[in-house]
Amino acid sequence: MISRKEWEELRKKEKILKKATEILRVEEKDLPRVIERFKREIKEMEEKLQSL
């Protein structure tokens, strides 16, 4: 088992993750993929904006 301190550290991280997923309204497990998608789309949009 882990210590209370380590557990509290995990709870803290859990809360941070929850907050982040609430912004995008996605499931936690999907968050890395969604971030990737946004980054890719931003890049694509920037390229398009430059070409216009």
Partner 1 sequence: MATKKELIQEFQKNPDRYWKVKLFDELGFKRRQCKNCGKFFWSLKDQDVCNDSTCRSYDFIGKPPTKKPLDIFQTWKKIQKFFEDNGHAALNRYPTVCRWYPLYFTIAGIVNFYRVDEEGNLDWEVPANPSILLQPCLRFNDIPNVGLNSKSFTCFGMVQQTSFFNGKEGYWKDKCIELDFNLLSKVFGIKPEEINFIEDAWIGYGAFGSSLEYHVQGIELGNAVFTEFAGNLENYREMKEKVIDMGAGWERFTWITQGTPTSYDAVFGPVVEKLKKKCGIKYDKKFFLKYAKISGKVNLDEYADLKVVLEKIASQLGISVEELRKNIEQLQALYSIADHTRALVFAIADGGLPSNVAGGYNLRVILRRALSFIDKFNWNLGIEDVADWHISYLKKMFPELEERKEEIEKVLQAEINKYKNTKERVGRIIQSFAGRKISEEELITLYDSEGITPEQLGIEVSSDFYSKVTERHMAEKKEEEKVLLDVSNLPKTKILYYDDVLKFKAKVLKVSGNFVVLDQTSFYPTSGGQEHDTGYISGLKVVDVFKLHSVIVHQLESCNLKEGQFVDCEVDKKRREILKRHHDAIHIISGAARKILGYHVHQHGAEKTEEKARIDITHFESLSEEEEEKIEDLANKIVEKSLPIKKYVMKRGEAERKYGFGIYAGGYIPSRVLRIVEIPGFDVEACGGLHGDNTKDVGFIKILKTKRIADGLVRIEIKAGEVALDYMKEKERILKEVAEKLGVKEENVPEAVKKLFEDWKQKRKQLKKMRKRE
Please give the span between the terminal C-alpha atoms of the chain, in angstroms, as a whole number.
Answer: 58
Tokens of 17: 């993750």
d(CA 24, CA 30): 10
52 is a site residue for partner 1 (CB under 8 A)? yes
Beta strands in the chain (DSSP E): none
Q: Which amino acid is at 21?
A: T
For residues 1-30, which are near partner 1 according to CB under 8 A?
1-2, 4, 7, 10-11, 13-14, 16-17, 19-20, 23-24, 28-29
50 is a site residue for partner 1 (CB under 8 A)? no
Contacts to partner 1 by CB under 8 A: 1-2, 4, 7, 10-11, 13-14, 16-17, 19-20, 23-24, 28-29, 31-32, 35-36, 38-39, 41-42, 45-46, 48-49, 52
